[in-house]
Amino acid sequence: MSDARRPRYRNWMRGEPNNGNGNEHCALYWITRSGWNDGVCKEKINFVICNNNGARLLELQSKVEENWIDLQCRVRGYGFGVWLGLTDLQREGQYVTMSDARRPHYGTG
């Protein structure tokens, strides 16, 4: 778990992350609102993986990357959001990369 780190770039929507209903522990990029939200890990939401990083979930590093992902998701019709490679399962409210963090179980689909 030593590789887990807080992201340098963050773009949480106002009031997020809020751990709604006490079970939101995975971060997602909300395409329709151009910001980050915390969600229930078992929800069926689209995802983007980065092959250059060992096929990990997306870890946005800058606003430029976020804008590019936003455009790609809109062109592909990915709905309202995509999962990000961040979780707060180790420590509530402190989102870290999933490189070696405790990994959640995502919904299939």
Contact (CB, 8 A) for 36 and 29: yes
* Residue 3: per-residue pLDDT: 56
The answer for residues whose C-beta is within 8 angstroms of residue 106's C-beta and 6 or more apart is 26, 41, 42, 47, 83
Give the tens place of pLDDT for each residue, 29-88.
999 888 999 999 999 998 887 766 566 788 899 999 999 999 999 999 988 889 998 999
- Helix-strand-coil percent breakdown of the chain, rounded to 5? 20, 25, 55
Domain ranges of the chain: 1-51+59-102
pLDDT: which is higher, 2 or 48? 48
Q: How high is the pLDDT of residue 102?
A: 57
- CA dist 78 and 8 (Å) reads 26
| Residue 99 pLDDT | 67
> Would you call 6 helix, strand, or coil by DSSP?
coil
DSSP assignment, residue 12? B
Q: What's the distance, CA 87 to chain centroid?
A: 8
pTM above 0.85, yes or no: no
Note the pLDDT of residue 63.
95
